[in-house]
Structure 1
Amino acid sequence: MFKCGLAFPRCRWILPLLLLLAIIFDIIALAASSGWVDSKYHYASLWDQYRGREPNWESSSLMEYGWAKASAAMLIIGCILLIICFILSFLALCKQQAGLLRVIGLILCIAILMQVISLIVYPTKFTETLIQNGDYEYSWSYGFGWGATILMIGCSVFFCCLPNYEDELYGQAKPIYIYEG
Structure 2
Amino acid sequence: MFKCGLAFPRCKWILPLLLLLAIIFDIIALAASSGWVDSKYHYASLWEQFRGRDPSWESTSLMEYGWAKATAALLIIGCILLIICFILSIFALCKEQSGLLRVIGIILFVAVLFQFIALIVYPVNFTKTLIKNGNYEYSWSYGFGWGATILMIGCGIFFCCLPKYEDELYGQAKPIYIYG
Instruction: Specify if TM > 0.5.
Output: yes
- Deviation readout 1:65-119 (Å, 9 max, x if unpaired): 0000000000000000000000000000000010100000000000000000000
Unaligned runs of 5+ in 1: none
Q: Any idea what SS the aligned residue of 1:46 has?
A: coil
State how far apart, in whole Å, the 2-side matches of 1:154 and 1:72 are: 23
1:56 deviates by 1.2
Q: Any idea what SS the aligned residue of 2:162 has?
A: helix
Partner in structure 2 of residue 32 of structure 1? 32
Partner in structure 2 of residue 124 of structure 1? 124
State how far apart, in whole Å, the 2-side matches of 1:156 and 1:6 are: 21
State how far apart, in whole Å, the 2-side matches of 1:151 and 1:3 are: 31
1:57 deviates by 0.6
Matches within 5 A, 1:69-84: 69-84=69-84
Q: Any idea what SS the aligned residue of 2:51 has?
A: strand
- Deviation readout 1:154-178 (Å, 9 max, x if unpaired): 000000000000000000000111x
Matches within 5 A, 1:18-57: 18-57=18-57
Matched, 1:180 2:159: no
Matched, 1:113 2:113: yes
State how far apart, in whole Å, the 1-side matches of 2:136 and 2:4 are: 50
Q: TM-score, normalised by structure 2?
A: 0.99
Matches within 5 A, 1:123-142: 123-142=123-142
State how far apart, in whole Å, the 2-side matches of 1:31 and 1:90 are: 25
Q: Which amino acid aligns with 2:179?
A: E
State how far apart, in whole Å, the 1-side matches of 2:34 and 2:121 are: 18
State how far apart, in whole Å, the 1-side matches of 2:99 and 2:179 are: 33
Identity %: 84
Partner in structure 2 of residue 149 of structure 1? 149
1:2 deviates by 2.1
- Structure 1 segments of 4+ aligned residues over 2 angstroms from their partners: none
Q: Any idea what SS the aligned residue of 2:133 has?
A: coil
1:3 deviates by 1.1
Q: TM-score, normalised by structure 1?
A: 0.98
Q: Any idea what SS the aligned residue of 1:57 has?
A: strand
Partner in structure 2 of residue 89 of structure 1? 89
Q: Any idea what SS the aligned residue of 2:100 has?
A: helix
Unaligned runs of 5+ in 2: none
State how far apart, in whole Å, the 2-side matches of 1:180 and 1:136 are: 55
Q: Which amino acid aligns with 1:150?
A: I
State how far apart, in whole Å, the 1-side matches of 2:5 and 2:131 are: 54
